[in-house]
Structure 1
Amino acid sequence: MMNREQLVEQFAQLISFVEGLRELDEETWTAPIEPGKWTTRDVVAHIMLWDQYFLEEAIGKIAAHQPLTVKHLNFDEFNNNAVVYAKTKEKPEIIDLTIRYRAAILEHLRQLTDDEWTEVHQDGEGHPFAVDHYVPDFIAHDEHHIKQLQAFLGIYLR
């Protein structure tokens, strides 16, 4: 079981991974990672938009001591919208936004007290939301997608 600092560091690893994608040529960036699957661009935009959503609707609200507005969304609809969005942006912008949103979440996480880290909040629908559950869930989400991209790009874990 990782402690809080280890979780935050693990959550930060997405930034260096995404930073490394700047070197990809456009053809690789926009090629499906498997037949009928998303492209690297789609995966990165998907992660970025989830980070934006949780920053604006949950983590930023917790940091500002405001009520949470995060809700259980239709994942398929959200993810499909991310793919559409990705097609409207250039690679540097998607990468920059991904790093900006993750860095902003990390800044908030690092400033939380231990009590705030474990406090159970009510989300916008009255369901429980706690940072100490959100972070491990999204580390697992990151790892799932990073492994997919590493397999596609031929990059292996260090």
Structure 2
Amino acid sequence: MAVSLDKNTILRYKEFTEWTDTLRDLHESIWLQPLAEGKASAGEIISHLKNWDTYIISTIIPAINNDEGMIFPDFNSFNQVAYEYARSGVSKASLLDEFKSTRLQLVDMLLANPDIVAKHVTANGVEICPHTGTPYSLLYIIHEFNDHDNHHKNQILTAI
């Protein structure tokens, strides 16, 4: 049975790459500077977003395909790996290319698999988001990630 899919949420997720392309003009000296005291840099944020997209591709989608729930790792240690990658010597252009390529790959997967995207599943064993009362699905996670993207976009724009 085909499931109706809100493609706008997914297309909004794709459109974020248009904004991240503008970061190619960001001066190299700013790319890895913390945006504020104790905060990540623009480069670390892009690496962080890429890692979450990669995780959805490599772990979340296969789990849903296998009728399993979504399992998300400890955010702090997961994000730390992304921050370290951004500081590993990878160039700004390469990291932005990796992010865009990964995001577009994920969007293509989401659009091609509406049944997987809209299927109600658990997230770390929980069926319904305790904050919104919405049943978990990959589409719900992408909706949340859109808000997450915009949070980081605003952080970067405020700092630069």
- Give the TM-score taking structure 2 as reference length: 0.80
Confirm or deny that 1:30 pairs with 2:37.
Answer: no
- The runs of 4+ residues in structure 1 deviating greater than 4 Å are 67-70, 125-129
CA distance in 2, matches of 1:117, 1:95: 26
1:1-158 equivalent positions in 2, closer than 5 A: 4-59=6-61, 62=64, 65-68=65-68, 70-88=70-88, 89-113=90-114, 115-121=115-121, 126-128=125-127, 130-153=137-160
The question of whether the paired residues in 1 share the 8 Å contact of 2:63 and 2:70 is answered with no
Residue 130 of structure 2 corresponds to which residue in structure 1?
Answer: none
Q: How far apart are 1:117 and its partner, in Å?
A: 3.2
- Counterpart amino acid of residue 102 in structure 2: Y
Contact 1:29 1:40 in 2 (8 A): yes
Gaps of 5+ in 2: 128-135
User: 1:13 Cα shift?
Assistant: 2.0
Deviation string, structure 1 residues 6-36 (Cα, Å, up to 9, x no partner): 2112111221111111111210112211123
Residue 121 of structure 1 aligns to a residue in which SS? coil
Query: Which ranges in structure 1 are unaligned for 5 or more consecutive residues?
Result: 154-158
Identity of aligned residues (%): 22
Q: How many correspondences in the alignment?
A: 147
| Partner Cα separation in structure 2 for residue 46 and residue 15 of structure 1 | 14
Offset at residue 73 of structure 1 (A)? 1.1
Alpha-carbon deviation of 1:126? Answer: 4.9
* 8 A Cα contact 2:70 2:122, kept in partner: no
Q: CA deviation at 1:104?
A: 0.9
Distance (whole Å) between structure 2 residues aligned to residue 60 and residue 149 of structure 1:
32
Q: CA deviation at 1:150?
A: 1.2
Q: Is the 8 A contact 1:57 1:68 kept in 2?
A: no
Query: 1:118 Cα shift?
Result: 2.0
Deviation at 1:121, TM superposition (A): 3.4
Any conservation in 2 of the 1:45–1:86 contact (CA below 8 Å)?
yes
Deviation at 1:5?
A: 2.1
1:46 match: secondary structure: helix
> Offset of 1:131 from its aligned partner?
1.8
The TM-score normalised by the length of structure 1 is: 0.81
1:16–1:31 CA distance, 2 compared to 1 (3 A): same
